[in-house]
Amino acid sequence: MRRYLPFAIVAIVAILAVGGGTYLYHAKASSLSGSRIHGESAETADSDHVLGPAEARVVLEEYGDFQCPPCGHLSDPINELQKEYNIRLVFREFPLVDFHKHALEAAYAAEAAGLQGHFWQMHDLLYRQQPIWSSAPDVRQLFDHYASLMGLDVERFNRDMDNERVHQRVAADQKKGESLGVKNTPTIFLNAQEIDRMHLNPAGLHDAIEAAIKTNKPSS
């Protein structure tokens, strides 16, 4: 499944000027026609965010916070590992609201995009543009711009961000994480076993996936 936004979208968003609550784009959203991600189906407010085959021998489950810098640093490497090994990737919301003032709204933005079939697209963009929106004085306006660039129905996107079912979905992910002892982000489980924090880096995850594949070879 092709998940990545075209480089052009990232470049467009990167030229966003932040100052006095005013945001200026120097390109039109219409220039993005035909560039949307394909293969992402519409979701419900209760569905898991999953990539990869159900029969995959390795399942990587991440509890993440979109405003967490370490999560952002691991996002692209995890994308690459998912493609390289065709693992099953599960993302669960775990915004650290006591530390990151925009984390909860970012989680709602990703969930709202998911209801229009673009969770992973918003997931990737939020992480790649994390330094921009994390310091924005009007983060909601910026998220609207992201939704518009993706070709989403922005009015619906806003309604869904405020939808109680979306809020409950995020809260349910947090509750599930807390039941597993999650306290920080990223917290990653590989085949239901938590990865030690010292191995939460591209090389460490690569080695852990290799080991899991060897351990879970299909019986002959």
pLDDT per residue as tens digits for the range 116-137 = 999 999 999 999 999 999 999 8
Does 169 map to a domain? yes
- Is 42 among the domain residues? no
Whether residue 11 lies inside any domain: the answer is: yes
Residue 24 corresponds to which tokens in the numbers above? 């200026």
Structural domains of the chain, count: 1
Biggest CA pair distance of the chain: 64
22-42: pLDDT as tens digits: 333 333 333 333 333 333 444
CATH of the domain at 81: 3.40.30.10
Range of the domain at 23: 7-28+50-215
- Determine if the pTM surpasses 0.85: no
44: in domain = no
Between vectors from CA 195 to CA 114 and to CA 219, what angle results, nearest 5°?
Answer: 90
Structure token digits, residue 215? 């351990």
In a domain, 33, yes or no: no
Long-range contact pairs involving 204-212 (C-beta distance under 8 Å, separation at least 24): 205/60, 205/74, 205/77, 205/78, 205/81, 206/81, 209/58, 209/60, 209/81, 209/85, 209/87, 212/57, 212/58
